[in-house]
């Protein structure tokens, strides 16, 4: 059920556009819009800038409205019921035969779960390709929407210099399971973590050029998805899943990233082809390498159950994944695997081990570097309060935001100097 309850004044902050960039060059609206500065002494109002965008004709946003409705899986009648706009009004807006008020576009953006600036700027190429691929796009609308929104935000923040360019670690795509294992070992070596568990997987992924976000997408939200934004990768993980599965999904999407895919099928929703199986092999060998299995089996010699529990706890993996990896590496036989898989760890197992499970990637969770850079941009006055809260996806509330730095008056004058 879609509802349009957010105040228009709040949502309008999402379409804030740099004054000089748009008014002096309407075609600039074809690019992701710049954000309003956090505070300003003078200049056109947001609503007047918004009206300028609506009238500029730089982007056929009415076609984008129809596209957004179709991506949301809504009929015109359903949109009418959600927004209070008549069905014929919506039809005329999509046909371009009726003018659209700023407040109406805000209502439509809410109904379609899109930021307002989405209607004025093109999506990153990999997002468009992913969405148009029948084997990938459309499997989970909420996942599709989140991937696109975050990819657009990351692209803009990089373009504005708020997030530094990250050098992607590129590896040759594997053609065998053995090559997948070698790639996992190679990536650990390149990032100077040859041994031990990868306990802060988001930071590890960032160092390889992948920004991974954990958001609660619900039971119907799929597992995870990936798109490339230049050399940077963006992955959205369904945080509603159990912790071990979340970590595995990050490792899987990291595989797509280092193997230089433009986008990836949604884990858990698409039938697995050979490529997906090889990336799964990469993921499990990255999280629980062969050398680590040898150490654990030696430590708990003669007690495969406690060895498996230790592997799950220390490497923060699902019980199913641990049992499969121990079997694949010959540490346990098929019968033992089946026996273990049927009896997940109990509290008694944790007491006997003397160690306990620590959950990772609880939603909402944004990448560490991304979060720091967004807050730094807010401190400098580059982002509005509403925008920074949106970019941080509920990880902080308004009362927790840091104080903004004072901006010299001369900086405001330069931003709002007369247009010629």
Q: What is the pLDDT along the chain (420 residues), one digit of tens a residue?
A: 333 333 333 333 333 333 223 323 333 333 333 333 333 333 444 445 455 555 544 347 677 888 888 878 889 999 899 999 888 888 888 888 888 888 888 888 888 888 777 777 766 666 656 555 555 545 678 888 899 899 989 998 998 888 887 778 999 999 999 999 999 999 999 999 999 999 999 999 999 999 999 999 998 888 999 999 988 999 999 999 999 999 999 999 999 999 988 776 655 444 457 888 999 999 999 999 999 999 999 999 999 999 999 999 999 999 999 999 999 999 999 999 999 999 999 999 999 999 998 999 999 999 999 999 999 999 999 999 999 999 999 999 999 999 998 766 665 565 555 544
In the chain, where are the structural domains located?
8-122, 290-353
Can you say whether the dihedral through the CA atoms of 377, 379, 380, 384 is positive or negative? Answer: positive
Q: Which two tokens stand for residue 404?
A: 């903004």
Determine the Cα–Cα distance for residues 173 and 183; give it in Å rounded to an integer.
8
CA–CA separation, 79 and 3 (whole Å): 10
Contacts 24+ apart (CB under 8 A), 195-199: 195/289, 195/291, 195/292, 196/292, 197/287, 197/292, 197/314, 197/315, 197/316, 198/286, 198/287, 198/315, 199/316, 199/360
- What is the rounded distance in angstroms from the CA atom of residue 266 to the CA atom of residue 137? 8
Question: Cα(151)–Cα(149) distance, rounded to whole angstroms?
Answer: 6
∠ at Cα 196 (194, 202), nearest 5°?
85
Whether domain 8-122 has CATH 1.10.260.40: the reply is yes
Task: For 340-414, list the strands marked E by DSSP.
Answer: none
**pLDDT given for residue 173 in this prediction:** 94
What does the alpha-carbon distance between residue 67 and residue 75 come to, in Å, rounded to a whole number? 11
H or E element at residue 375: helix 368-379
Structure tokens at 292: 């680590």
For 399, other C-beta atoms within 10 Å of its C-beta total: 5
Residue 56 and residue 26 in contact, taking contact as beta carbons nearer than 8 Å: yes
Sign of the CA dihedral running 33, 38, 44, 46: positive
Bridge-based pairing of strands 263-267 and 224-229 is antiparallel
């Amino acid at each position: 059920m879609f509802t349009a309850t957010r105040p228009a004044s709040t949502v309008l902050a999402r379409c804030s556009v740099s004054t000089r960039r748009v008014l002096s060059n309407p075609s600039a609206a074809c690019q992701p819009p710049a954000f309003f500065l956090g505070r300003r002494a003078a200049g056109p109002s947001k609503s007047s800038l918004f009206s300028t965008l609506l009238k500029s004709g730089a982007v056929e946003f009415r076609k984008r409205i129809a596209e957004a409705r179709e991506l949301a899986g809504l009929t015109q009648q359903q949109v009418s019921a959600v927004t209070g706009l008549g069905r014929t009004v919506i039809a005329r807006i999509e046909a371009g035969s009726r003018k659209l008020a700023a407040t109406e576009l805000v209502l439509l953006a809410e109904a379609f779960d899109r930021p307002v600036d989405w209607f004025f700027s093109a999506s990153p190429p990999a997002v468009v390709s992913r969405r148009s691929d029948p084997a990938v796009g459309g499997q989970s609308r909420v996942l599709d929407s989140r991937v696109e929104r975050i990819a657009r935000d990351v692209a803009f923040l990089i373009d504005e210099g708020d997030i530094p360019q990250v050098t992607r670690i590129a590896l040759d795509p594997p053609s065998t399971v053995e090559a997948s294992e070698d790639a996992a070992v190679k990536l650990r070596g390149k990032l100077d973590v040859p041994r031990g568990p990868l306990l802060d997987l988001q930071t590890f992924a960032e160092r390889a050029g992948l920004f991974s976000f954990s958001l609660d997408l619900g039971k119907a939200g799929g597992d995870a998805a990936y798109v490339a934004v230049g050399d940077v990768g963006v992955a959205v993980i369904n945080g509603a899943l159990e912790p071990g599965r979340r970590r595995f999904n990050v490792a899987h999407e990291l595989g797509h990233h280092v193997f230089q895919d433009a986008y990836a099928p949604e884990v858990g929703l698409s039938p697995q082809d050979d490529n997906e199986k090889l990336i799964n092999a990469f993921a499990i060998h990255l999280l629980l390498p062969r050398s680590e299995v040898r150490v654990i089996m030696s430590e708990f010699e003669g007690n495969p159950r406690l060895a498996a529990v230790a592997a799950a706890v220390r490497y923060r993996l699902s019980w199913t994944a641990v049992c499969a990896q121990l079997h694949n590496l010959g540490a346990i036989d098929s019968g033992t695997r089946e026996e273990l898989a049927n009896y997940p760890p109990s509290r008694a197992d944790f007491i006997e081990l003397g160690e306990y499970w620590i959950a990772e990637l609880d939603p909402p969770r944004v990448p560490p570097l991304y979060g720091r850079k967004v807050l730094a941009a807010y401190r400098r006055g580059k982002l509005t309060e509403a925008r920074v809260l949106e970019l941080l996806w509920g990880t902080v509330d308004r009362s927790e935001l840091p104080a903004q730095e004072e901006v010299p008056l001369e900086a405001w004058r330069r931003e709002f100097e007369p247009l010629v």
